[in-house]
Every structure is written in C-alpha cells, then in structure tokens.
Amino acid sequence: MSEIIVSGIRSTGNLHLGNYFGAIQNFLKLQEQHECYFFIADFHSLTTHPTPSDLYGNTRQVLIEYLACGLDPEKCTLYRQSDIHEIPELYLLLNMNAYLGELERCTTFKEKARKQPNNINAGLLTYPVLMAADIIIHKATKVPVGKDQEQHLEMTRNFAARFNRMYGVNYFPEPVAYNFGEQLIKIPGLDGSGKMGKSEGNAINLIDDPDTIRKKVMKAVTDTGPTEPNQPMTEPIANLFTLMKIMSSPETYQYFLDRYNDCSIRYGEMKKQLAEDIIVFTQPIREKILSLSSNQTYLKKVVQVGAEKARVSASKTLREVREIIGFKDF
C-alpha cells in the first residue's frame, strides 16, 4: 500500500554526510514507491536570523544538493516550505493547542536556548509546531528523519491526536519517524563526541573537495590507542568505526577492527583509508552539485512545479481543517 511520506531539511548551509545517511538515503528509496513530499525548510531557518542573501543562497543550495543526491521531481513533490502559505496558516491553528510547558520541555529548544541565549525567540519555542504543520498538512504517515528528530515526531503525534480529540474527528493520522534500516540513525561528527551537524564544525559536506575531506578526516579526534586486546573503545574511536562501517567495505571495516582488537592499529592509516572511501562516495555528488549550480532555468522550473503540486494537497487539508474548526461559509 502506498504511504504518504513527508520530510524536510533546514536551509542553513551545505548538506553533510549526517543529512545524507539520516534522511536523504531514505528519500531516494521512498520516492520509488510512495507519495512523497520533500521540502526545503526555509521558514525554520529564520530562527537564527539569516541575511536575505544567505536565506536565498542556502535555500537554493539545498535544492541543488537534493537534486544532486538523486531526488527526482518527476517521482516526488520537491518544494520550498515558504511557497506553501497553507503551512503557516495550519501552524497558527495548531499553536492555539500547543502548550508552553510541553514546548519548553523540548530538548532541542533547551539546547538552542543555551546556544543562542540572546535570541530565544518565539519561533524557536514553537519550532515543533511548525514542523508538525509541515507533516500533517499532507496527512503524512511516515517521516524519514535521523535520530535527533525523534522527539519532534512524538510532539507531532501529540498535536495531531489533540486536534482529533478536540474536534471529535479522526482526521489526522499519527505519523511516525522512519528509517529503512528500522532504527533511526545518528552519524557522529569528527570531533570525538556527539553528532555531525552543520553548526558544530565537525561535518563532511557533500560538496567538499578531496583535499578538504582528507584534511578534515586526518584532523579527527583519536586517542592514544588500545593497550590490551579487545579493549572497549573510547567515544572518538567508536565514532570513527561507525563512519567506517557506513563508508567503507565490510572487509576494510573488519581489517581495522581486527587491528584494533590486537592492538596493532595505526589510526593514521585508518583515517587515510576512511578519507579515500568518503571521497569515492561524495565526488560524483559533488560533480552534480557543481553542474546543477549554473542551471537556473531548471532550478526555477523545479521550484514552480513543486509548489504547484504541494499546494494541491496542502490546500485540500486546510480547507477541511477550517471546516472542522468551524470557519464556515456564510
């Protein structure tokens, strides 16, 4: 049975391996068999106050990188969030039933508030409500995302269920976070701890050239090496192995794991191999990014067609929601 799939990526910079393996890899498979809506979350990027040229540049860049990864506008609906005015309207309606306590308890809100103490704006607080609007505007059932978005999906289900309860309807499905490999994924960064992220400075971007990738990987944090066989790994080393498991062949992974376990590993050698394997994966994508960058006519067409397609589904939902709430024609 065909499901309705919705997901997006914020337009705050270049896409990295975390975005690819947490989200895009799933988009590529899902677009082959389901009704998919993939978008550029440019409203969400406003929480950090980009300049107008950064907003436009980053939005354009995410579009290019989506296409370079293989998102196919013939197979999925590929659009820009801000082109669909029904989304902010649904966001406003959902905001009436979103409570301060639950919004303040959201982990990403607390984290952002800590990182940008001088800019704790209402958009940041209600970020999960806008995200819920993105998802339920198409009545999605599955949302391909990385592990870091799990709580947002739980909140989306709460908002959807609350709407249904409040109006005594069975209108919105309760969407679930989704990954093909069953478990949601967290790609680690190169700085020894935590996840790869745009703002953490620990990411390998899909557009990075080979030299940049080599430099970044060679600088990745390691430890002084195992001193006894089968020693548990420290976090930076476990992270390197996680990356290698995704990027390298099973034989290569096993080779370095064996070297780790018998204490003969040389991290420099492991990193060199990892860098080369990342380069093999990213370079075809980088080439497509570069060639699409100059094709403004095509990009414009993609955005126009995507907006038209997304509006069909969004406007139907909003019409029905308004009716349910009681905004009726005279």
Q: How many CB atoms lie within 10 A of CB 270?
A: 24
d(CA 144, CA 294): 30
Whether 112 is catalytic is yes
Q: Which two tokens stand for residue 36?
A: 């998919």
**Residue-wise burial string across 311-329, b where 16 or more C-beta atoms lie within 10 A, e elsewhere:** bebbeebbeebeebeeeee
Site for ligand TYM in 60-99 (CB under 6 A): none
Q: Considering only 48-56, 88-96, 179-187, 304-312, which stretch makes contact with ligand TYM by CB under 6 A?
A: 179-187
Report in angstroms how near the CB of residue 263 gets to ligand TYM at its nearest.
Answer: 30
Residue 90 has, within 13 A of its CA and on its CB side, a CA count of 32
Among 185, 244, 265, 302, binds ligand TYM (CB under 6 A): 185
3-state secondary structure of 177: strand
The 190-229 site mask, x for binding ligand TYM (CB under 6 A), equals -----xxx--------------------------------
Distance CA 328, CA 69 (A): 44
Task: Give me the numbers of helices (H) and strands (E) for the chain, helices first please.
Answer: 14, 5
Known catalytic residue at 195: yes
Q: Which of 22, 50, 192, 226 binds ligand TYM (CB under 6 A)?
A: 22
Q: Any contact of residue 240 with ligand TYM (CB under 6 A)?
A: no
Listing DSSP states for 95-106 in one string gives HTT--HHHHHH-
Of the candidates 181, 175, 74, 178, the residue with the CA atom closest to the CA atom of residue 133: 175
**Token pair 């390197």 is at which residue?**
240
Check binding of 10 to ligand TYM (CB under 6 A).
yes
- The active-site residue out of 110, 147, 195, 216 is 195
The residue range among 83-91, 182-190, 216-224, 267-275 that interacts with ligand TYM, by the rule CB under 6 A, is 182-190
The number of residues that bind ligand TYM (CB under 6 A) is 26
44 touches ligand TYM by CB under 6 A: yes
Residues 128-167 that bind ligand TYM (CB under 6 A): 131, 134-135, 143, 145-146, 148-149, 152
Known catalytic membership, residue 29: no
The residues that touch ligand TYM, with contacts defined as CB under 6 A, are 6-10, 18-19, 22-23, 41, 44, 131, 134-135, 143, 145-146, 148-149, 152, 185-187, 195-197
Positions annotated as catalytic residues are 112, 195, 198
